[in-house]
Homo-oligomer: A and B are copies of this chain.
Amino acid sequence: MFNRILVPIDGSEGARKALKMAIDLQKTTKAELMLLTVFRHHSLLEASMSMVRPTEPENLDNVLREHAKGVADDAKKFAVENGAESPRAFVKSGPPARTIVKFSKEREVDLIVLGSRGLGDLEGYLLGSVSHKVTSLADCPVMVV
């Protein structure tokens, strides 16, 4: 039924719930399980967040990337402990919803499973949440958990 299931991971409780559901779906469908953590490039953060201008922007990106890698690795470990078969974790930078959808198209994902609310709650409230955007933009079915 599904060959490739993608779970966007942001370290939130919602993402954890989505991952549990995706593991159950993998067990019944034998699909490949992919985890994706998206971090915002510092210029995006800077534009949206504060007047603080980092003096070493390359360093800031490295910090963000390292943090995202940690989140992705944690999720992969959790997946393995919960019986997932060969989950693969990816890290990308960019605006979350568009980056998730782009990745899903490139990798021919046929199901995206994601939490109804991630860490960007306030932004979701103001701009339309990541889950709503992904649901609108994706080519494949999207399960909001």
Chain A residues with CB under 8 Å of chain B are 1, 21, 24-25, 28-29, 116, 131-132, 135-136, 141-145
Contact = CB atoms under 8 A, between A and B. Distances in A.
A142 B17 CA distance: 13
Consensus secondary structure, chain A interface: helix
Contacts of A144: 135, 141-144
Nearest to A21: B141
A143 B138 CA distance: 12
Nearest to A116: B135
Contacts of A135: 116, 131-132, 135, 144
Contact of A1 (B1, B24, B136, B142): B24
A128 to B, nearest CB: 9
Nearest to A28: B28
A142 B134 CA distance: 13
Contacts of A25: 1
22 contacts: A1-B24, A1-B25, A1-B28, A21-B141, A28-B28, A28-B29, A116-B135, A116-B136, A131-B135, A132-B132, A132-B135, A132-B136, A135-B135, A135-B144, A141-B143, A141-B144, A141-B145, A142-B143, A142-B144, A143-B143, A143-B144, A144-B144
Nearest to A145: B141
